[in-house]
């Protein structure tokens, strides 16, 4: 069974540009969550999508947005990039059984974004 696939693996952008990252979840998983990982802040939750609807949102500015398609694939977009957006962006999929005790996240390998 294929795991969570994120593309691209590496991305270099300059300040002010925008970027779109893609995530294909494990087949059958309907929930996709996005996290930003930096050495200083660790993993910080961006947002979660379930059945094409945003269910939860973290404390990030509106420059960060996402969406989910009918096949559960998800994209996140960052507009007007800033130097501080340099990070590893991780996508995770899950069955989303509806109870926190049963939640298991399966992570992709991430997209390493560098903003110059």
Partner 1 sequence: TQLLEQSPQFLSIQEGENLTVYCNSSSVFSSLQWYRQEPGEGPVLLVTVVTGGEVKKLKRLTFQFGDARKDSSLHITAAQPGDTGLYLCAGGGPTTYSGNTPLVFGKGTRLSVIA
Enumerate binding residues for partner 1 (CB under 8 A): 4, 33, 35, 41-45, 48, 50, 55-56, 58, 90, 92, 96, 98-101, 103-110
The two three-digit tokens of residue 93, written as one number: 């999929």
What is the smallest separation between the CB atom of 88 and partner 1, expressed in angstroms? 9
What is the smallest separation between the CB atom of 94 and partner 1, expressed in angstroms? 9
As separate numbers, helices (DSSP H) first and strands (DSSP E) second, the chain gives: 0, 11
What is the smallest separation between the CB atom of 100 and partner 1, expressed in angstroms? 4
Question: What does each C-alpha distance from 59 to 6, 56, 97, 112 come to in angstroms?
Answer: 23, 10, 24, 21
């Amino acid at each position: 069974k294929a795991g969570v696939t994120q593309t691209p693996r590496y991305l270099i952008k300059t300040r002010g540009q925008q970027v779109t990252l893609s995530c294909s979840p494990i087949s059958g998983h309907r929930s996709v969550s996005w996290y930003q990982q930096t050495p200083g802040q660790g993993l910080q939750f961006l947002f979660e999508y379930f059945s094409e609807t945003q269910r939860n949102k973290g404390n990030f500015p509106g420059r960060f947005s996402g969406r989910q398609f009918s096949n559960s694939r998800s994209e996140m977009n960052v507009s007007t990039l800033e130097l501080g957006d340099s990070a590893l962006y991780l996508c995770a999929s899950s069955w989303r059984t509806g109870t926190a005790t049963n939640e298991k996240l399966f992570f992709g390998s991430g997209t390493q974004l560098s903003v110059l």
